[in-house]
Amino acid sequence: MATITLKNIPADLHRELKKRAEENHRSLNGEILATLKSASDQSRPVDPAALIREARAARKKFKRQVSAREIRTWIRRGRL
């Protein structure tokens, strides 16, 4: 794998990336890689089948049925 060194990152950008990493349960490096991948994927068309697979994989992580009310509560609390 290739390695990249980033220099002169503005403090506010660094804070934002660290915050997003924590919210997404990733390392700072993982968050930066996910951000770069997302930015590079935006020029590609959306694959509905891939989105469905990702949603099903995410759903399997829950041990029980989650209600819409619980999801709305989590969103209000900033957990999603």
**To the nearest whole number, what is the mean pLDDT of the chain?**
89
Render 16-51 in DSSP notation, one character per residue: HHHHHHHHTT--HHHHHHHHHHHHHHTTSPP-HHHH
Q: What's residue 34's pLDDT?
A: 94
Contact 17, 32 (CB under 8 A): yes
Q: What's residue 44's pLDDT?
A: 73
Residue 32 has pLDDT above 60, yes or no: yes
Q: What's residue 80's pLDDT?
A: 53
| pLDDT tens figures, 42-61 | 777 888 999 999 999 988 88
Q: What's residue 48's pLDDT?
A: 92
pTM score of the predicted model? 0.52
